[in-house]
Amino acid sequence: MKSTHRIEQKTVVEGHAEAQFSARRRAIDDSFLDETIRLFQARTNRPLNKEDARQIVENMIGFFQILAEWDQQERAGIKTCSDLKSSAIDIGE
């Protein structure tokens, strides 16, 4: 019974992640990519194309998702590995 629940849960999680990715791709339209190219082109000598712009957008989304996750963990009081290491150093272990 447990294995069935895990499979169903995994399918739901995978389906949710796929839906989020698909929604994100739809939200990145050509005009947004053009604006991204315009903004970042000034910061590089290499000509940027729509694929470069798409990767820039995806990387920015990932960056801010990680920042939000860290903020949420900090607010919840969840210790990270680096917090645990610095705590051990503080108490002299």
Banded model confidence at residue 89, pLDDT cuts 50, 70, 90: low
User: How do residues 49-73 score in pLDDT, each as one tens digit?
Assistant: 999 999 999 999 999 999 999 999 9
pTM of the model: 0.55
For residue 52, with 0-12 CB atoms within 10 Å meaning exposed, 13-18 middle and 19 or more buried, which class applies? middle
Structure token digits, residue 24:
């994100």
Banded model confidence at residue 26, pLDDT cuts 50, 70, 90: low
CA separation (Å) from 43 to 7, 14, 40, 51, 77?
46, 36, 5, 17, 38
Position 88 pLDDT exceeds 90 = no
